[in-house]
Structure 1
Amino acid sequence: MLVYWNFNLIKIENKSDYQFFDRAFHFGDGVYETIAVKDGKVMFFDEHANRLVSNANSLDIPIIIDIPDLGKNIDNIIKSNKIDQGFIKVIVTRGLMTDAGLSYPKPMKPSLLIWGQKCGFTPLKEKRPYKVIQSQHERRNPYSKVTYTKTLNYLSNIIAKNEADAAGCDEAIFLNTNGNLAEGTTSNIFLIDNNGKIHTPEVASGLLNGVVRSKIILAAIELGFEIEESVISPNKLKHSKGCFLTSTLLDIQPVSEILGVAKYEVSSSIDILEQLENKYQSYS
């Protein structure tokens, strides 16, 4: 077989020798996890590993490594690349295409990739508040299994993030197909009302239940804050005193503006954010 790849004709003897025959390349057919590394240690490994296995199982993708071995290999990547502060990405794909169709390949031979990169983490007090846009083009589907699964197919997120970039914003948030708040392209969203109560969209609104999201909810409960997971109308954006995002690489990220919708004085809720941040960091 001859294929044309980046201006070169390549003779293919064995498809398995070329990763561009992987279904991840053709269909985004796989799952992944991004895990923070701080002081040379992975953060919340068990939660990420369990979600990786759960997501793979929900898509009928066999996991070809057990969790203890996954942890050992992640530690090896961290040490080999001298990652003190950064992240690890674990990707599991359904493996090689056996034909051009969408049906699962038989036999299925999944692929595994673990890689890492150095990056910094900015303390809460030093963070520049984000400007956020409400995506006008993309919606989350709360009735789709894919919505709740961390898959390799991120085209909808990419479109919305580019929408934010074009508007001079840092992040885009999705409404769902029912018109209610869901999540950001790589983050979960929280609101703080005028009484100091914290609100976040319920998972059934169509969002990925982020590891950091879960930890922040736990932190709020343990600190004695009133917190509610519920269906949230976008009207609540303009009637809140504060807004923040959470993700593996952001931790807690204050928001100063939802473009054309609401502006927030970060100073009015910074005490709540600092308490949440300190509690969250204690879990590591």
Structure 2
Amino acid sequence: MLLCNLDGVITPEATISVFDRGFLYGDSVYEVIRTYRGIPFALPEHLARLRASAAYLYMSVPWSDEYISQEVQRTLAAAPPGEYYIRIVVTRGGDRRIGLLPEPTTQPRLLIVLMAIAPEPTLSEQGIRLTIAKRQRTSTAALDPAAKTGNYLNNILALLEAQQSGFEDALLLNAQGQITEATTSNLWIVRDGVVETPPTTVGILPGITRATLLKIVVDLGMPHREVILTPQDLATASEAFLSSSVRLLMPIRQIDNVVLPSCPGPVTQKLWRELLTVMEKAALAA
């Protein structure tokens, strides 16, 4: 089931001009949110990141967070009951001609897309198989991965190349050979009982689920640290997982030739349960 809201018009399908800069150049920003018990989880945090991404692109977002939230709720109300993937896109808009420099009269457009997802989130027992990508992560000095833009070719190519090699996803390294993240998810490993994840300085998108998990491990008193990781560090991990807004947690079974001892591991399972508890409380409080 698919439903769109383009500039306030709700419709099963939406069309946008071929002159739109989001279409022509990936000149757009977006956020992906999932509902839990029908409630968008961490919507304010996603909207804050949307504005930060837009500011990085020198792009204005003329709508208030309250208006965007109302449009999300109005779109959900028009959809059948269930759980949904929500994609919020702000494109810089369409020009009257094709050219890299936006025209002064270009007006942003707001698109909200709903797609039905499984009614209950489940933790995969099978896990996922990853490879270390040969393709390097986009440099923070070129196009900072911390900005969630419509330009996703770096991730797409890494994912295609991983799947051509028989894997399901890829971990990308930066120019220094440090692990950044997977193509759409943040990485976590457990070594010697310590939960570890790469710091934002290596060039990652600071995930909303990542931030939630960092708070959870603090609240639980679990040993943890944000630390630079290299491919060699993965061989000593007892378990590992990815985090993202839709997947939530995805256990990792294998990275290249390294098979993780536990999938899903006990720490992954504990964090899964705690994450669902946080989401349940947020839904009840909404």
Match of residue 245 from structure 1: 242
Match of residue 269 from structure 2: 274
Structure 1 residues 29 and 49 mapped into 2: Cα distance closer, same or farther (>3 Å)?
Answer: same
Distance in structure 2 (CA, Å) of the matches to 1:220 and 1:141 = 29
Distance in structure 2 (CA, Å) of the matches to 1:122 and 1:133 = 25
Offset, 1:18: 5.6
Offset, 1:222: 1.0
Distance in structure 2 (CA, Å) of the matches to 1:169 and 1:83 = 35
Match of residue 66 from structure 1: 64
Is residue 2:194 matched to residue 1:197?
Answer: yes
Offset, 1:146: 3.0
Cα deviations by residue, 1:94-117 (Å, 9 ceiling, x for unpaired): 111243321232123111101101
**212, 216, 232: which one aligns with 2:209:** 212
Structure 1 residues 216 and 148 mapped into 2: Cα distance closer, same or farther (>3 Å)?
Answer: same
CA RMSD of aligned residues (A): 1.7
Cα deviations by residue, 1:40-91 (Å, 9 ceiling, x for unpaired): 1101111101111111122111112111111111011112122521211000
Distance in structure 2 (CA, Å) of the matches to 1:97 and 1:32 = 20
Q: Secondary structure at the match of 1:139?
A: coil
Normalized against structure 1, the TM-score is what?
0.88
Task: Give, as a single letter, the amino acid of the residue that structure 2 aligns with 1:160.
Answer: A
Match of residue 259 from structure 1: 256
The farther-off stretch of 171-180 and 81-90 is 81-90
Is residue 2:218 matched to residue 1:221?
Answer: yes
Q: Secondary structure at the match of 1:148?
A: coil
Q: Secondary structure at the match of 1:146?
A: coil
Task: Give, as a single letter, the amino acid of the residue that structure 2 aligns with 1:168.
Answer: G
Distance in structure 1 (CA, Å) of the matches to 2:276 and 2:30 = 24
Unaligned runs of 5+ in 1: 1-16
The question of whether the paired residues in 2 share the 8 Å contact of 1:140 and 1:175 is answered with: no
Match of residue 6 from structure 1: none
Instruction: Extract structure 1 runs of 4+ deviating beyond 2 A.
Output: 97-101, 137-140, 142-146
Task: Give, as a single letter, the amino acid of the residue that structure 2 aligns with 1:259.
Answer: D
Match of residue 128 from structure 1: 126
Structure 1 residues 18 and 119 mapped into 2: Cα distance closer, same or farther (>3 Å)?
Answer: closer
Offset, 1:29: 0.1
Match of residue 174 from structure 1: 172
Offset, 1:210: 0.4
Mapping for residues 1-284 of structure 1, pairs under 5 Å: 19-120=17-118, 121-124=120-123, 126-193=124-191, 195-260=192-257, 262-267=258-263, 270-284=265-279
Match of residue 8 from structure 2: none
Task: Give, as a single letter, the amino acid of the residue that structure 1 aligns with 2:177.
Answer: G
The percent identity for this pair of structures is 26
Distance in structure 2 (CA, Å) of the matches to 1:142 and 1:96 = 27
Offset, 1:143: 2.8
Equivalent pairs, count = 264
Q: Secondary structure at the match of 2:181?
A: strand
Task: Give, as a single letter, the amino acid of the residue that structure 2 aligns with 1:203.
Answer: T
Unaligned runs of 5+ in 2: 1-14, 280-286
Asked which structure has the greater RCO (Cα within 8 Å, sep 6+), the reply is 2
The question of whether the paired residues in 2 share the 8 Å contact of 1:33 and 1:48 is answered with: yes
Distance in structure 2 (CA, Å) of the matches to 1:43 and 1:196 = 29
Normalized against structure 2, the TM-score is what?
0.87
Cα deviations by residue, 1:13-38 (Å, 9 ceiling, x for unpaired): xxxx9611100111000100001012
Structure 1 residues 103 and 184 mapped into 2: Cα distance closer, same or farther (>3 Å)?
Answer: same
Distance in structure 1 (CA, Å) of the matches to 2:81 and 2:211 = 25
Q: Secondary structure at the match of 1:140?
A: coil
Larger Rg: 1
Distance in structure 2 (CA, Å) of the matches to 1:140 and 1:257 = 24
